[in-house]
Amino acid sequence: MTIHREGYQTITISALAFAVINLLSFYFISAHVPWLSYLIFFVTLALLLFLISFFRVPNRKLSKGDDLIICPADGKVVVIEEIVDQEFFKDRRIQVSIFMSPANVHQNRNPIGGEVVYNQYHKGKYLVAWHPKSSTENERHSVVLRNGRGEILVKQIAGALAKRIVNYLSVGQKAEQSAEYGFIKFGSRVDVLLPVGTKVNVQLNQVVQGGVTVLATW
């Protein structure tokens, strides 16, 4: 396991805050109210460990295959439905949505290999990530990947806690399947829009792993 580069600054600042708070607690509180000093230590330690865990990047054997569409994120499948996409395709698509809790790995991976033909950031609200309107009203970043089998749209969506979406792709770039393409800080969601007729391999409430679980097949 490694720590994602998006977490370096946050973890460094948090570690310094942890050290300063507990040094002050030791000098000014521990002699008079020792239980409070212990409480401060354990609470701040738990918060620091949580942040380190949040930015973790586990070592995994990644899935690849020309006929496979791989899950772009860790989390739970919360939506599988046919919708009309108003952003790019302007037709009916199968939407599969994965909700990421703060406890999940938040690194995002390319579900297919191919060319990036669309890349667009949208400002928006911060509704809870499982809200039905979060796909169209929340802050989000949409990418369309195209290869010889078709096109899919992958949408990083901010949640109530997510305030920063990071996307590393650009139009014209050749994306490698299961390679990293972005990161979302704290609770969030990823939508995948598939062509109608695509065989979906996951079920509602299934727990999936980014870069590993096969989401669908062409």
Q: How many CB atoms lie within 10 A of CB 11?
A: 17
Q: Please tell me the distance from the alpha carbon of residue 117 to that of residue 101, in angstroms, as a whole number.
A: 29
* Catalytically active residues, by annotation: 188
pLDDT at 192: 98
| Mean per-residue pLDDT over the chain, rounded | 92
pLDDT 10s per residue in the chain (218 long)?
899 999 899 999 999 999 999 999 999 998 889 999 999 999 999 999 999 998 999 999 999 999 999 999 999 999 999 999 999 999 999 999 999 988 899 999 999 999 999 999 998 776 665 566 666 677 899 999 999 999 999 999 987 665 678 999 999 999 999 999 999 887 689 999 999 999 999 999 999 999 999 999 99
Q: Please tell me the distance from the alpha carbon of residue 79 to that of residue 100, in angstroms, as a whole number.
A: 13
Could you tell me which residues come within 8 angstroms of residue 164 by beta carbon, excluding any fewer than 6 positions away? 158, 184, 185
pLDDT at 131: 62
Contact between 125 and 157 under an 8 Å Cβ cutoff? The reply is: no
pLDDT at 209: 97
